[in-house]
Amino acid sequence: MINVGICGLGFMGMIHYLAYQKVRGAKVKAICEKIPERLAGDWRSIKGNFGPRGKKMNLAGIATYSELEKMLADPNIDMVDICLPPCAHAETAIAALKAGKHVLCEKPIALAVDDARRMVKTANQAGKMLMIAHVLPFFAAYRFALNTIQSKKYGRFLGGNFTRVISDPLWLKDFYDPNGCGGPMVDLHIHDAHFIRLICGMPKAVHSVGRMRGRVAEYFNTQFLCSDPSLVVTATSGVINQQGRPFTNGYEIHLQRATLLFESWTQTPVTVLTDDGRVRRPKFTSGTDETDDFAAELTEATKAVATGKPSKLLDGQLALDALILGQKQTESIVKRRPVRV
């Protein structure tokens, strides 16, 4: 049994707590949170842009801490699950790793590339796992795309376009703060940057055009220039001003003998167009609860700690590469030219 300590009881901390109830081989043994009511089990103030709202919870049998140092000193904790704002990821993860704990940290790995590198270096020095909770590959539509690409069922990957756009998140006061949430590049597009890195390797360069809001990119389009010049990989992400479409994400992926389509806003299900003219819409067996995909992610992390075999999907270096891609895209927008990675 892997004993977990959750650090941070915001919306994502609550989602992780609920998802752990479905994970075999893991148990939440401790929670660290500074808001007293939440630590006492009153989660009614917690809400997000999907999933359930918070309610009163029975935390009997779970150790509660208001100070990180005390939870890290708990010998019963094997893995610390960090669900804090991005600005706190680096120092919290480094402290946990130095305390001898494995770490699962919410995305993005950090706000600054140098901080992310320190996290990876500390994990290597401590001999502990640093896993970053990029959940996208565990969502059914993206899991299907990843498995299809890697299996080469329809031939090799030729490229594709990835989209992730939201209306202005007025409920997130520090969304555009480069030292808070970090803006659309690291809070939103980082999902697709991570997925593109996963399927393409590290691109050689990026060419982004877009508009800035202060020091962060607000809306942008990127062409990823890969080692294979025949790959055509692009992404569009950012914020629109109208509240009528709160969120959309999707892809059009090109393979030698098929095209994969998915789009959430228009409710286009995963669709496979094959070169014989057929249109197929695969059925998925994922559960009905929105925490199921997070449970799959947490199961992956738990398995990695239990077996000692690192997860390729949650790899810290992979998450660092995604952050580097975001940094280079912002640089490309500002300089108005392609930038080498």
Average pLDDT over residues 287-308: 92
The token pair at 299 is 């199961």
Residue 52, pLDDT above cutoff 90: no
Provide the CATH number for the domain around residue 24: 3.40.50.720
Same domain, 19 and 150: no
Rounded CA gap, 234 and 211, in Å? 17
Same domain, 201 and 333: yes
Domain's final residue, options 133, 163, 178: 133
* Residue 124 belongs to a domain: yes
* Residue 159 belongs to a domain: yes
Residue 220, pLDDT above cutoff 70: yes
Percent of the chain surpassing pLDDT 90:
91
Rounded CA gap, 295 and 291, in Å? 6
Q: Total domain count for the chain?
A: 2
- pLDDT tens, position by position, 12-40: 999 999 999 999 999 999 999 999 999 99
- pLDDT tens, position by position, 231-287: 999 999 999 989 888 899 999 999 999 999 999 999 999 999 999 999 999 998 755
Same domain, 38 and 173: no
Residue 328, pLDDT above cutoff 90: yes
Same domain, 9 and 80: yes
* Residue 255 belongs to a domain: yes
Rounded CA gap, 65 and 7, in Å? 9
Q: In terms of Cα–Cα distance, which of 249, 253, 74, 266 is closest to 147?
A: 253
Domain's final residue, options 133, 154, 187: 133
Same domain, 126 and 142: no
Specify the pLDDT at position 206. 98
Cis-peptide, bond into residue 108, ω within 30° of zero: yes
Same domain, 187 and 51: no
Specify the pLDDT at position 182. 93
Residue 111, pLDDT above cutoff 60: yes
Specify the pLDDT at position 28. 98
Contact 323, 190 (CB under 8 A): yes
* Residue 303 belongs to a domain: no
Query: For the chain, what is the HEC assignment?
Result: CEEEEEECCCHHHHHHHHHHCCCCCEEEEEEECCCHHHHCCECCCCCCCCCCCCCECCCCCCEEECCHHHHHCCCCCCEEEECCCHHHHHHHHHHHHHCCCEEEEECCCCCCHHHHHHHHHHHHHHCCCEEEECCHHHCHHHHHHHHHHHHCCCCCEEEEEEEEEEECCCCCCCCCCCCCCCCHHHHCCHHHHHHHHHHHCCCCEEEEEEEEECCEEEEEEEEEECCCCCCEEEEEEEEECCCCCCEEEEEEEEECCEEEEEECCCCEEEEEEECCCCEECCCCCCCCCCCHHHHHHHHHHHHHHHHCCCCCCCEHHHHHHHHHHHHHHHHHHHHCCCEEC
Beta-bridge partner residues of 106 = 133
Specify the pLDDT at position 286. 59
Same domain, 9 and 40: yes
Same domain, 193 and 285: yes
Rounded CA gap, 241 and 236, in Å? 16
* Residue 85 belongs to a domain: yes
The domain in which residue 270 lies consists of 137-292+322-340
Same domain, 150 and 226: yes
Domain's final residue, options 133, 153, 174: 133
- pLDDT tens, position by position, 78-108: 999 999 999 999 999 999 999 999 999 999 9
Same domain, 142 and 49: no
Contact 121, 320 (CB under 8 A): no
Q: In terms of Cα–Cα distance, which of 76, 45, 79, 82 is closest to 61?
A: 76
Interstrand relation of 130-133 and 157-167 (parallel, antiparallel or unpaired): unpaired
Residue 316, pLDDT above cutoff 70: yes
* Residue 88 belongs to a domain: yes
Would you place residue 48 in the very low, low, confident or very high pLDDT band (cuts 50, 70, 90)? confident
- Alpha-carbon distances, residue 103 vs 7, 126, 132, 160, 316 (angstroms): 11, 11, 8, 33, 10
Average pLDDT over residues 202-228: 97
Specify the pLDDT at position 124. 97
Same domain, 33 and 83: yes
- The overall pTM is greater than 0.75: yes
Q: In terms of Cα–Cα distance, which of 321, 323, 299 is closest to 138?
A: 299
Same domain, 7 and 147: no
Average pLDDT over residues 149-162: 97
Would you place residue 117 in the very low, low, confident or very high pLDDT band (cuts 50, 70, 90)? very high
Mean pLDDT rounded to a whole number for the chain = 95
* Residue 189 belongs to a domain: yes
* Residue 302 belongs to a domain: no
